[in-house]
Structure 1
Amino acid sequence: MKEKSDDLELVNLVKYQNSSEALKKLFNKFLPITEGIISMYYIRNFDRNDWIQEAYIVCHETCFRFNGEQGSKFGNFYKMRLANHAKSLLRRELALKRKINKEASSFETSIIEDSFEGGFVGANHTVIYNHEIFDLDDFMGGLTKIETEVFKMLLGYKKANEIKANKRQIQLAQTNCKKKLLDYFK
């Protein structure tokens, strides 16, 4: 009973006097709960300091929402709120991941549509990539005959059935074109 009244006293100090010291004591008291919740979830690019900051904010908000007169314990309420907050952060991260995956396109599609991440294919056979201009004719000079034909197909100047090669040869030439193009941009 004494522990519950100590928690309630600290909560009231935070709630009514905006006491940073009381919040710090309360947060440190429930740090094992925080550590337990943190260990249960992984969010990309979220380090321990980010988690601690989020937990601190949740602890502060929990002080203002907690009503000790209803017989509940602050620790349980804080644990529930922190777990729910962690799930919300995870949902946001997964939604962002889904959005990125939904907006992704293949390299071939990007070339055919005359643009790709960080670059643009111009009508005069130049490529602007990462703010540098590259000459496609120069690049194509380093391709084999079949790779040149396949690259023209990727750019939309030829159809696959116009290339005198089997499907496997076209796929191999396509892979080689991608590798050579990426090497050319380096």
Structure 2
Amino acid sequence: MQIMTPEEILMIHQAATDSDLFAQLFAQYKPLVLTVLKSYYIRDYTRDDWLQEARIAMLKAIARYDGTAGSKFGPFYRLVLLSHIRSLLRKHLAQKRAADTTAMVMANPGAILPPSFASGQRIEDNLVLRSELAGYVDGLSPLERRGLLVVLENSDQATRQAYRRAIERSKVKLTRYFDEQLN
């Protein structure tokens, strides 16, 4: 096993304050990052989000890395990265944030939804909304319709997970449908 040279250790420590060295170090370990990240998924996280989290983990690893005992930086960084990802997953899956994982962003719901919809004061407004949303439902595939029903019925987490992709597609189509109605 080859140990790290003092020059390599110095370069790693300097990368904490030198953005060019940091970029070089990150590029060197990017294949490791991509291999590790393949196994994880968080809703609404893009590849760039994941790479940014990997950079944050690298900064943590640089700050904590000693290297004098002969350990290599790569395996140490991998452990720090895995720990960082697990922390992200714990935060994302926390019970108190469950609403965040199922929430859907709408451009301007007030422009589509009548005020009485939230209060339930006027049944006619709700019926109009339902008839307008029929066009949206007609545009869904059978699997996406089932996914939408799973959400509306507030099904258990296992059922939601089984329909996760269909639910995501139906949410994207709903947002697109509302955007078209606004324009």
Q: Please give the TM-score of this superposition, normalised by the length of structure 2.
A: 0.54
Question: 2:74 is matched by which residue type in structure 1?
Answer: G
Structure 2 residue 86 is the aligned partner of structure 1 residue 90: no
Structure 2 residue 131 is the aligned partner of structure 1 residue 183: yes
With over 3 angstroms needed to count, the CA separation of the structure-2 counterparts of 1:44 and 1:185, relative to structure 1, is closer
**How far is 1:10 from its partner?**
1.5
- Identity among equivalent positions (%) equals 31
Query: Contact 2:4–2:70 at 8 Å: present in 1 too?
Result: no
Bigger relative CO (Cα 8 Å, ≥ 6 apart) = 2
Cross-structure match for 1:42? 41
Q: For 1:155-185, what per-residue CA distance to the aligned partner results, in whole angstroms no more than 9, with x for missing partners?
A: xxxxxxxxxxxxxxxxxxxxxxxxx862267
With over 3 angstroms needed to count, the CA separation of the structure-2 counterparts of 1:79 and 1:121, relative to structure 1, is same
Query: Contact 1:66–1:74 at 8 Å: present in 2 too?
Result: yes
Distance 2:118 2:34 in 1: 44
**How far is 1:5 from its partner?**
4.0
Distance 1:185 1:34 in 2: 43
Secondary structure, aligned partner of 1:69: coil
Cross-structure match for 2:146? none
**How far is 1:99 from its partner?**
2.5
Alignment of 1:10-89 (within 5 A): 10-15=11-16, 18-89=17-88
Alignment of 1:81-120 (within 5 A): 81-95=80-94, 99-100=98-99, 119-120=118-119
Q: For 1:75-119, what per-residue CA distance to the aligned partner results, in whole angstroms no more than 9, with x for missing partners?
A: 111000101111111222222687329x99xxxxxxxxxxxxx61
Query: Contact 1:13–1:19 at 8 Å: present in 2 too?
Result: yes
**How far is 1:71 from its partner?**
2.2
Distance 2:73 2:6 in 1: 10
Supply the RMSD in Å over aligned alpha carbons. 3.2
With over 3 angstroms needed to count, the CA separation of the structure-2 counterparts of 1:100 and 1:71, relative to structure 1, is same
With over 3 angstroms needed to count, the CA separation of the structure-2 counterparts of 1:69 and 1:51, relative to structure 1, is same
Cross-structure match for 1:8? 9
Equivalent residues, number:
120
Secondary structure, aligned partner of 1:84: helix
| More strand per residue | 1
Unaligned runs of 5+ in 1: 105-117, 128-133, 140-179
Distance 2:94 2:119 in 1: 29
Distance 1:100 1:119 in 2: 18
Q: For 1:54-90, what per-residue CA distance to the aligned partner results, in whole angstroms no more than 9, with x for missing partners?
A: 1111112211111111222111110001011111112
